[in-house]
């Protein structure tokens, strides 16, 4: 699943927000109006890929999907995440609303330990790949 991380300018902003959440919850969560129809697939090792500054930059494993109600009693979906944020190679993503399913073959690969410095802007990454340098 891929989702815009609204309000975050950096992966650290996302981490800070989730750290504040975990002061009152066991795991970070995100609420959405619609429940995913492919929840079974997502719970079988699936992740949410967060789009920050027009690029996928980090992912989190989805560990639970729950039906909850908001403060007005309206049905909502609560996505529960593993608190571990896994940085990925930056992959450009145009703005969109809601969330989208992401094919495993289309997902950016995780950065290895020590590769964080290679988290370059998506347009430069694309140019390097096109030139055959990357």
pLDDT tens, residue by residue, 12-45: 999 999 999 999 999 999 999 888 999 998 999 9
* Among the listed residues 68, 96, 89, the one whose alpha carbon sits nearest the alpha carbon of residue 80: 68
Q: Residue 120: pLDDT band by 50, 70, 90 thresholds? A: low
How many residues are given for the chain? 134
* pLDDT at residue 69 is higher than 60: yes
Three-state secondary structure call for residue 9? coil
Overall average pLDDT of the 80-94 stretch? 92
CA angle 43-57-95, nearest 5°?
Answer: 90
Give how many domains the chain has, as a whole number. 1
| Domain limits for position 69 | 2-130
Overall average pLDDT of the 69-84 stretch? 93
User: Please, what is the average pLDDT of the chain?
Assistant: 88
* Among the listed residues 96, 92, 103, the one whose alpha carbon sits nearest the alpha carbon of residue 127: 92
* Among the listed residues 35, 123, 43, 15, the one whose alpha carbon sits nearest the alpha carbon of residue 77: 35
Q: Residue 117: pLDDT band by 50, 70, 90 thresholds? A: very low
The secondary structure of 74-102 as a DSSP string is -EEEEEEE-S--EEEEEEE----SSEE--
């Amino acid at each position: 699943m891929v989702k815009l991380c609204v309000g975050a300018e950096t992966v650290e902003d996302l981490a800070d927000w989730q750290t504040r959440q975990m002061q009152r919850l066991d795991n970070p969560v995100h609420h959405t109006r619609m429940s995913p129809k492919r929840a079974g697939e997502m719970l079988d090792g699936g992740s949410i890929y967060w789009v920050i500054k027009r690029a996928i930059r980090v992912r989190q494993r989805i560990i639970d999907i729950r039906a909850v109600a908001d403060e007005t009693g309206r049905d909502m979906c609560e996505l529960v995440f593993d608190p571990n944020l896994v940085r990925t190679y930056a992959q450009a993503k145009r703005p969109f609303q809601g969330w989208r399913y992401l094919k495993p073959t289309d997902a950016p690969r995780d950065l290895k330990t020590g590769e964080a410095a290679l988290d370059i802007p998506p347009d430069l990454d694309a140019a390097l790949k096109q030139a055959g340098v990357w």
